[in-house]
Amino acid sequence: MDSIVDVEHGFAFGEATYSRGGVYGPLSKPYVSLIFVHEGLIRVTCDDERTTLTGGQIAFFKNDRLFLIEMERDILHRVGWCEGVPGRAWGTRPSPLAGVSPVLSLTDRLTTLQRIGVELGFSSSTGLNDVRNAVGYALYTAFFHEAQLIECNRFIPKQVLRVKSHMDDNMDKGITVGELAAIANLSPQHLISSFRKHLGVTPMQYLWQMRANRGRGLLLQSGLSVSEIAYQCGYKNPFHFSRHIRQNFAMTPTEIRANKGYRPPSDVLESPGNTAF
């Protein structure tokens, strides 16, 4: 965690609503901050730079001597944050956002983590502080990860992204390489090689991995039957689904639900020899 914030200070979460606009700051001490704009329009001054954010955006800031948020007058603003004192590593390592935009669109993952942090409140105890810091670390790590993914996608051909998006939206349907090649306006072989070059897998490998991940998520988060989940994820039958889930997660669908997704340790999975000398 010290790579992001000073471990002695940890992370702090908050959220506020300004019904007619307003100003927060100026702050003169160094901070690292993730600022969420759920509604409204704000202008952030971070040292010598000004950034405008609108509803549905999140941005990362690290200031040395000045931090100020100005909210447009006469409109409703709902703003959240997760902040901390910069860790020592900021002075010795490259920023995790080097070359990457510090402004992203809000995602469900980032919003959920921030909400969890806010709901933990402001009380202080060893256990609560550890939980709050774990959520903060997860939030910043998720933000940096999503920023890097967006940057990587900038260099992926539009045809590949179009095919990927089609599979994400239609995994419950029967999909063939020929159909995907037509969507990309490429030959099947050209599509396969381009997909593998930029995403590391073939289109069909990506599709089946997405189906398995979606199936696991529905097992944990819904009350749907195994058969319903299988068909919603594009499997031909529940037996195919169960076999594929076991191949990917070393557990049957029933075991995933019973264990809440917890993967058994290696001594349970593989019954290895264990000799003490």
Neighbours of 118 (CB within 10 A): 17
User: Range(s) for CATH 1.10.10.60 in the chain?
Assistant: 158-258
Q: For the segment 131-190, what is each residue's pLDDT rounded down to a tens digit?
A: 999 999 999 999 999 998 887 777 788 889 899 999 999 999 999 999 999 999 999 999
Tokens of 208: 């089946």
- pLDDT at residue 277 above 60? no
Q: 9 with 83: CB under 8 angstroms? A: no
Distances (CA, A) of 211 to 62, 170, 183, 245: 39, 10, 20, 9
Around 44, how many Cα atoms within 13 Å sit in the side-chain half-sphere?
A: 23
Q: For the segment 215-237, what is each residue's pLDDT rounded down to a tens digit?
A: 999 998 888 999 999 999 999 99
Q: For the segment 40-95, what is each residue's pLDDT rounded down to a tens digit?
A: 999 999 999 999 999 999 999 999 999 999 998 888 999 999 999 888 766 666 66
- pLDDT at residue 29 above 60? yes
Around 179, how many Cα atoms within 13 Å sit in the side-chain half-sphere?
A: 9
Q: How big is the chain, counted in residues?
A: 277
Q: What would be the CATH architecture of the domain defined by 158-258? A: Orthogonal Bundle (1.10)
Tokens of 214: 């979606």
Q: What homologous superfamily is domain 12-152 in, according to CATH?
A: Jelly Rolls (2.60.120.10)
Q: Phi/psi zone of residue 33: left (φ > 0), alpha (ψ -120 to 50 degrees), beta?
A: beta
d(CA 141, CA 11): 13
Sheet holding 57-63: strands in order across? 12-18, 77-84, 31-39, 57-63, 103-105
User: Range(s) for CATH 2.60.120.10 in the chain?
Assistant: 12-152
